[in-house]
Amino acid sequence: MPELPIFDYDLAIIGSGGGAFSAAIKATTAGKRVVMIERGTVGGTCVNTGCVPSKALLAAAEARHVALDSGRFPGITAHADPVDMTALIGGKRALVETMRAEKYVDLIGEYGWELRQGTASFNGTADAPVLEVTGFDGTSSAVTAAHYLIATGSAPVVPAIDGLDEVGYLTSTTAMELDEVPESLLIVGGGYVAVEQAQLFARLGSNVTMMVRSRLLSSEEPEAARTLMSVFADEGIRVLRHANIASVRTDPATGEIIAIATTSGGRDEFRASKILLATGRRPVTDGLNLAAVGVNTGSNGAVAVDNELATANPRIWAAGDVTGHPQFVYVAAAHGSLVVDNAFNGAHREVDYRSLPRVVFTSPAVAAVGMTDKEANQAGIRCECRVLPLDYVPRALVNRDTRGFIKIVADASTGKIVGITAVAKEAGDLAAAGVYILEAGMTVAQVASMWSPYLTMAEGLKIAAQSYTTDISKLSCCAA
């Protein structure tokens, strides 16, 4: 009987974000020997430069906005002074450092895997892959493992714009390190990050202009875009659609950035103190030497994986943003767990995004689960939709904020709900409820007759379902 090969580790992980930690925790809990290699700050994008810092700053901006907007409640007045950006960013950094320690760094010792700080690159062959790890001191060492996991995440896309390298542009990462609020800000992009950053800086005091190729949140329901356009207009955020920037330069007299762009109104010049690029994120695979070990990548650098997250090399796997799959930290975490099951247990689990929730943390928030109206039609589903304005949701009425809606997309032949979108305060909680609705295969009729607590936003799901068969304008409160 041939001897089994001896490896340094059972699992070698490149990266230290959500997918990497999920895999490491599951593997070490199962008794596997794990090494994690990180060339930067432990914790990945979410805790360091993404979810945690951005949502912390959005919450602060929301508090300031509510104070300035307190007139919507009779008898309440408030005010807000200019923002002390240095103190605000300092608080954000303290929060990030605490969460990085408690949710990432400290866990390495708790579970007992090895962390190596340095840069990893594959060498060897497809049949015998080896990781070459170069430490910060320049020394190199070879690492062999039964399985390898690529979890190197993503980085902001920098579009090809003439003059961009000379103007000192911002990304979502560097924007959250500014020591003062820009007087004016030009944001390029209209996706999740762009709309969050636009509202964040507008509420902190910037004069914000967005340059969007098509429409806001182009992958979501058009009703969401229209609602956000109205909200942004009320908050002084200018949105220029069908915009394409040809060049940028700095005005030597004022220090302002000048952008030459074509929009639906023609070619024009736009000025701002700063320019922020929010045109998406690209998988980070540079320097990994993946071709040497038979791992394929796509045109944007994403690691090509099958539904089980295996690459073309049966010992090498990938998880999280680097796969080009939906860029949410909970997707990365699910990937990490799935990889360990498939690699060591032969589970053959596959990723399934049919009930994947997605949330944009604007105010009101935008959240969705399942298919949009358009996606359902493209999938051959004859769908029946209802859009419920928040004017019919009691929780929104007592909040004195009816900006938004709840939309249900259902199969017309069966009544089965295949998609839900909401624009509302705490819309993310509606999407979470929507996950359970879709997973259970519930129909409109079932949701319309289920229990729902009065004066919650989730009650809107029931009312939206009731609107399929009932004139909800004629319902009393709590009408079943």
* Per-residue pLDDT tens digits for 204-255: 999 999 999 999 999 999 999 999 999 999 999 999 999 999 999 999 999 9
Burial class (CB in 10 A: 0-12, 13-18, 19+), 272: buried
* CA neighbor of 408 nearest in space, from 433, 429, 427, 387: 387
pLDDT band of 475, cuts 50, 70, 90: confident
Over residues 456-473, the pLDDT tens digits come to 999 999 999 999 999 999
Q: Is residue 352 part of a domain?
A: no
Mean pLDDT over 74-84 rounds to 88
pLDDT above 80 (res 24): yes
Would you state the pLDDT for residue 4?
60
Say if 475 falls within a structural domain. Answer: no
Evaluate whether residue 419 is within a structural domain: yes
Mark which of 305, 323, 345 sits at the end of a domain: 345
Three-point CA angle 323, 327, 328, nearest 5°: 125
Kindly state whether residues 312 and 361 are assigned to the same domain: no
Q: Give the distance from CA 463 to its chain's centroid.
A: 29
Residue 286 has pLDDT above 80, yes or no: yes
Is residue 195 in some structural domain? Answer: yes
* pLDDT band, residue 73 (cuts 50/70/90): confident
Considering the domain boundaries, does residue 476 fall inside one? no
Q: Look at strands 9-14 and 145-150 and give their pairing.
A: parallel
pLDDT in tens, 319-376: 999 999 999 999 999 999 999 999 999 999 999 999 999 999 999 999 999 999 999 9
Percentage of the chain modeled with pLDDT above 90: 92
Question: Is 99 within a domain?
Answer: yes
In this structure, what CATH number is given to the domain that contains residue 227? 3.50.50.60
The verdict on 222 and 244 lying in the same domain is yes
Comparing 315 with 264, which gets the higher pLDDT?
Answer: 315
237 with 307, same domain: the answer is no
Tens of pLDDT, residue by residue over 136-186, are 999 999 999 999 999 999 999 999 999 999 999 999 999 999 999 999 999
8 Å CB contact between 403 and 364: yes
Beta bridge partner(s), residue 209: 186, 238
Q: How far apart are CA 421 and CA 469, in angstroms?
A: 20
Is 170 domain-assigned? yes
- Mean pLDDT to the nearest integer, 83-95: 96
End-of-domain residue from the set 252, 279, 306: 279
Rounded mean pLDDT, 398-413: 97
The reply to whether the predicted model has a pTM over 0.85 is: yes
- The answer to whether residues 337 and 424 belong to one domain is no
122 and 232, same domain (yes or no) = no
Question: Strands, E, within 58-206: which ranges?
Answer: 114-124, 129-135, 140-143, 145-150, 154-156, 170-171, 184-188
Q: Do residues 246 and 262 touch, judged by C-beta distance below 8 A?
A: yes
CATH code where residue 438 lies? 3.30.390.30
* DSSP notation for 410-466: EETTT-BEEEEEEEETTHHHHHHHHHHHHHTT-BHHHHHHS---TTSTTHHHHHHHH
Neighbour count for residue 155 (Cβ, 10 Å)? 17
Q: Domain ends where: 262, 279, 296?
A: 279
Q: Integer distance in angstroms from the first to the last C-alpha of the chain?
A: 70
Tell me which residue of 358, 366, 363 sits closest to 423, measured CA to CA. 366
- Mark whether 256 and 302 lie in a shared domain: no
Same domain, 171 and 286: no
Q: Are residues 85 and 206 in the same domain?
A: no
Q: Mark whether 56 and 172 lie in a shared domain.
A: no
Query: What is the enclosing helix (H) or strand (E) of 261?
Result: strand 257-263
Q: Provide the mean pLDDT of the chain.
A: 95
Same domain, 76 and 197: no
DSSP 475: P
Q: Are residues 46 and 120 in the same domain?
A: yes
Span 417-438, average pLDDT: 97
Number of compact structural domains in the chain = 3
The bridge status of strand 417-424 relative to strand 405-411 is antiparallel
Residue 387, domain extent: 357-469
Pair (137, 190) in one structural domain: no
H helices present in 239-293, as ranges: none
On the question of pLDDT at 264 being above 90, the answer is: no
Confidence of residue 479 (pLDDT cuts 50, 70, 90): low
Residue 3 lies inside a defined structural domain of this protein: no
With 0-12 / 13-18 / 19 or more C-beta atoms within 10 angstroms meaning exposed / middle / buried, residue 306 is exposed
Whether residue 1 is predicted with pLDDT greater than 50 in this model: the reply is: no
Mean pLDDT of 283-300: 96
